[in-house]
Each structure stands twice: as structure tokens, then as C-alpha cells.
């Protein structure tokens, strides 16, 4: 096994470096993906494919075997529906886990309420915290599925999910820290997007009134533009971080020096 694994800070720094150096290439790909996400089914598949495409391009930079967008797209295009089916399966898994978790919370709440238990708060809060931890654990274990499809050329969605599950095993805490740091880095963009949208809403409402059709139309268009810009900025960042994580995990778990 490769003993020279990257630290948490090194992984984030590597992702940021790729993001900075190749932003002009990845930004339009992310914008197009954002536009595709408006279209049901096929557009969602194209969106998932774009996440894999950017990750593949970023991974190529990390291992110093860069590909052109054209070359990388030709490699991921045949697995368009694999991205969609994998996303669908992940959504069903997460929904099932959350449904059962909240069902348990609801039953316990009903029991505690019916018996006038004063410790209701002490029961519910830990359960909700546990649900959040469980959700984040699943997110961490399944967070690299699109990389399995785009980089390892896996065509079966269940196999891609299994591969992500296997690769992230025993590294959940470390990955959670990386994602937490990446989330903190991305927070200013989220705050700025909401702030700018709020300003436009106040201005437009003052001009046209909240019930005006023009206000509703302009608000929708501006919201769409800001959301697309946010996707264009943040998708390349997250996929670059994931590419760095993928490189590090393969180096550690499989003892492969991919450089």
C-alpha cells in the first residue's frame, strides 16, 4: 500500500489547484449541465454525465495525463444512462433510509406524547442528530459513483455504487472532514447567490409589485440565471475535489501509484 497518502489539506489543495487552473474549461461545461437539468429524465442524465466528465478531466490533470474535452466526452458518452440510473438508485436508497428513520422518530414521538413523557426532547433530538449522521454517512460512501462510471468505465449502475462503497470503506471520517472543509469554502458562494437574489426581488417588487406577472417572470429569469452561475462556479469545484479524493483513495487502498 502506498504510504505517502495525501493529507486532508493536501486533497483539498489539489482540488483547488485543478479548479483554479482549469476553471475556464470546466465553467461552460457546468453551465450547460445546469441548463440540461431543467429538462426531465434526459436532461438529468446529461447533468449526471457532466459531473462525471468534469471529474474525469480533473483526474487526468492530477495524474498528468490530460485529455481534451472532446476525448473525455467520447469516453463518457456511451454511459449516459448509467449516470441517470445510478443517480436514481442512490435517490431511492437515501429516500428509503430517511423514510424508515423518520417513521421510527414519528412512532417514538407518538408514544412519548401519548404517555406525557417529559423526556420527549431528550428522545427526539438525539434521533434527529442520528438521522443526519446516517444521511451524511451514506452521502460519503456513495459520493464517488459518477467517478466510477466516468473514470473506470463501469457500465452497470449497481456495480458503480458497489465500487464507491468499497473504495470509501474505512475512510468515512476522513472524507467527512474533506467534505466539511469543501462545504465551508463553498458557503460564501451560496450566501452571495441568495443575497443577490434577495436584492433583485426587493427591487423588482418595489417597481412592479409582488402580484405583477412581470415581477413573477423577471424573478424566475433572474433566479434561473443566478442558479446557473452558482452551478457553473460550484460544480467544477466539487468535482475537482472528488477527483483528488479518488486519486488519494486508490493510491491508499490499492497501493497503486497512479502518477
**Mean per-residue pLDDT for 14-41?**
95
Distance, in Å, from the CA atom of 168 to the CA atom of 18, rounded to the nearest integer, reads 22
The mean of the pLDDT values for the chain is 89
pLDDT value for 131: 86
The C-alpha cell at 3 is: 504510504
**Mean per-residue pLDDT for 75-101?**
93
pLDDT value for 130: 86
Distance, in Å, from the CA atom of 50 to the CA atom of 34, rounded to the nearest integer, reads 9
Counting residues of the chain whose pLDDT is more than 70, the rounded percentage is 92
Confidence of residue 104 (pLDDT cuts 50, 70, 90): confident
Please answer whether residues 25 and 18 qualify as being in contact, where contact means their C-beta atoms are separated by less than 8 angstroms: no
Lowest-confidence pick of 14-23, 76-85, 93-102, 205-214: 205-214
Distance, in Å, from the CA atom of 188 to the CA atom of 194, rounded to the nearest integer, reads 10
pLDDT value for 4: 53
Q: Residue 66: which residues within 8 A CB-CB, separation 6 or more?
A: 57, 60
pLDDT value for 2: 43
Tens digit of each residue's pLDDT (9 = 90 or more) over 89-102:
999 998 998 898 88
Distance, in Å, from the CA atom of 139 to the CA atom of 135, rounded to the nearest integer, reads 6
Distance, in Å, from the CA atom of 144 to the CA atom of 171, rounded to the nearest integer, reads 13
Please answer whether residues 44 and 84 qualify as being in contact, where contact means their C-beta atoms are separated by less than 8 angstroms: yes
pLDDT value for 115: 61
Domain map (residue ranges) of the chain: 8-258
Q: Determine phi and psi for 210, rounding to 5 degrees.
A: -65, -25
**Mean per-residue pLDDT for 52-73?**
95
pLDDT value for 11: 92
Tens digit of each residue's pLDDT (9 = 90 or more) over 240-252:
999 999 999 998 8
Tens digit of each residue's pLDDT (9 = 90 or more) over 139-153:
999 999 999 999 998
Tens digit of each residue's pLDDT (9 = 90 or more) over 205-234:
888 887 888 888 998 999 999 999 999 999
Closest by CA to 55, choosing from 151, 184, 163, 168, is 151
What's the pTM? 0.88
Amino acid at each position: 500500500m502506498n504510504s505517502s497518502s495525501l493529507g486532508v489539506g493536501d486533497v483539498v489543495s489539489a482540488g483547488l489547484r485543478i479548479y483554479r487552473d482549469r476553471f475556464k474549461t470546466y465553467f461552460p461545461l457546468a453551465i450547460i449541465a445546469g441548463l440540461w437539468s431543467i429538462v426531465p429524465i434526459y436532461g438529468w442524465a446529461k447533468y449526471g454525465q457532466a459531473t462525471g466528465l468534469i471529474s474525469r478531466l480533473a483526474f487526468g490533470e492530477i495524474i498528468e495525463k490530460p485529455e481534451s474535452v472532446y476525448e473525455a466526452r467520447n469516453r463518457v458518452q456511451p454511459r449516459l444512462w448509467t449516470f441517470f440510473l445510478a443517480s436514481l438508485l442512490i435517490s431511492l436508497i437515501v429516500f428509503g433510509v430517511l423514510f424508515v428513520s423518520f417513521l421510527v422518530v414519528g412512532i417514538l414521538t407518538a408514544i412519548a406524547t401519548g404517555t406525557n413523557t417529559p423526556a420527549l426532547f431528550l428522545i427526539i433530538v438525539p434521533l434527529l442528530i442520528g438521522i443526519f449522521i446516517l444521511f451524511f454517512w451514506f452521502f460519503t460512501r456513495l459520493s464517488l459513483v459518477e467517478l466510477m462510471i466516468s473514470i473506470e468505465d463501469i457500465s452497470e449502475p449497481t456495480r458503480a455504487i458497489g465500487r464507491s462503497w468499497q473504495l470509501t470503506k474505512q475512510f468515512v471520517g476522513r472524507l467527512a472532514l474533506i467534505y466539511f472543509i469543501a462545504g465551508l469554502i463553498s458557503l460564501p458562494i451560496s450566501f452571495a447567490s441568495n443575497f443577490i437574489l434577495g436584492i433583485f426581488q426587493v427591487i423588482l417588487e418595489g417597481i412592479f409589485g409582488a402580484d405583477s406577472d412581470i415581477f413573477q417572470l423577471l424573478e424566475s429569469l433572474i433566479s434561473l440565471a443566478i442558479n446557473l452561475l452558482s452551478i457553473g462556479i460550484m460544480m467544477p469545484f466539487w468535482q475537482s475535489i472528488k477527483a483528488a479524493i479518488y486519486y488519494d483513495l486508490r493510491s491508499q487502498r490499492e497501493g497503486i501509484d497512479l502518477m
